[in-house]
Amino acid sequence: MVKLTNLEDWENTGYIHEHLSMLNPNLRSDRCFINKFSNFLKNCRDGQKIIEIGCCPGRFLSFFFQKYHLDIFGVDYDGKAIKVMLENFNKNKIKSKIYKSDFLTFKTKKKYNYVCSFGFIEHFKNNTLEQVLNKHIEIASPKGFIFIAVPNLTYVNKVFFNLIKPDVFLKHNTSVMNKDFFVHFAKRHNLKIIELDYFGGIHIPLNNSLYKFKILNVLFNNKLLDKLNSKYFSHYLGCIFQKN
C-alpha cells in the first residue's frame, strides 16, 4: 500500500476551521470550483445523493447542501476535523452523514448520484492509487457522475512549489496531473468524459500570509484571469466522468 501522507500530516495543516467553512466567490480558486459545479450538477434534483471523499473541512459539502439541496455524505479519516465540521454543520442546520473511515477500507451498500474528490487521489501511488480510483466508480450509481480534481504541480507551479514547500511537494504524485492520465483511466473503465480541463487560472503557490497585501489580492483574484488556463500554470486539473 503506497500512501504519500498520513493522519499526522493532515492534522498539522491547520485545515480544521473554527467556523463553518464556505466557498468564497471572491476568491478565484473557490470561484472556479463554483463554475465547474454548474456543469457537474446541472441536472441534479433535490434529494439526490452526493458524496465527497476526503471531505473535511466541509466547504464543498456545505455548498452542495445550500445551493443544490442535495443529500450530502462524506468520508474522512480525521476524527478531530470531522467533530468540528459536524458541530459547524449542526449550528447552520446542515444535514449530513459523515463516515470516519480510511477510504480504502470504507464499505457502503449505498450508490451515489454524484461522487467527488478534490485534492485526494494525488496522495497515492501504484496499486493503491488504482484501488482509490476504482472505489470512486464502485460507489457511483449507474449513469452517476464522478468529479475528480487535483492540484496542478507541474511546469511553473512545480518550480515555485519546490522552492517554497519542497517537503509538501514530495507528498504529491505528479503522474496524475496530466490529461492523458484521466483519458486512459476513462478508457480502462468505459467511462464517458463530460469535461476534462485545467482550471483556476494562474496560480503561484505563495505563502497565505502574503495575500494580505492588497496588490497581490487584486492581481491573483482578478476575474479576468479565471479563464486564462494552461497545463503550464493553472491551479487545478479536473475531470467529470459519467458512469455507464
- Residue 171 in any domain: the answer is yes
Q: Is the peptide bond before 57 cis (omega within 30 degrees of 0)?
A: yes
CA 155 to CA 157: how far, in whole Å? 6
Domain assignment present for 43: yes
- Domain harbouring 15, CATH code: 3.40.50.150
pTM of the model: 0.91
Q: Which domain holds residue 118?
A: 7-242
Q: How far apart are CA 173 and CA 171, in angstroms?
A: 7
Per residue of the chain (244 residues), what is the pLDDT tens digit?
566 566 565 455 555 656 678 898 988 889 999 999 999 999 999 999 999 999 999 999 999 999 999 999 999 999 999 999 999 999 999 999 999 999 999 999 999 999 999 999 999 999 999 999 999 999 999 999 999 999 999 999 999 888 888 988 999 999 999 999 999 999 999 999 999 999 999 876 655 544 455 555 556 677 878 889 999 999 999 999 999 9
The total number of structural domains that make up the chain = 1
Maximal CA-CA distance, the chain: 50
93, part of any domain: yes
Q: Is residue 209 part of a domain?
A: yes
Structure-block grid coordinates of residue 100: 470516519
Q: Examine residue 2 and state whether it is found in any structural domain, yes or no.
A: no
CA distance 98 to 178: 31
Residue 1 lies in a domain: no
Domain-located, residue 211 = yes
Q: What cell numbers appear for 17 in the block?
A: 476551521
pLDDT of residue 6: 67
Look at strands 234-242 and 140-151 and give their pairing: antiparallel
Return the pLDDT at 1.
58
User: Which cell goes with 138?
Assistant: 464502485
CA distances from 106 to 54, 63, 100, 139, 187 (A): 12, 24, 9, 10, 25
With respect to residue 123, please indicate whether it lies within any of the assigned structural domains.
yes
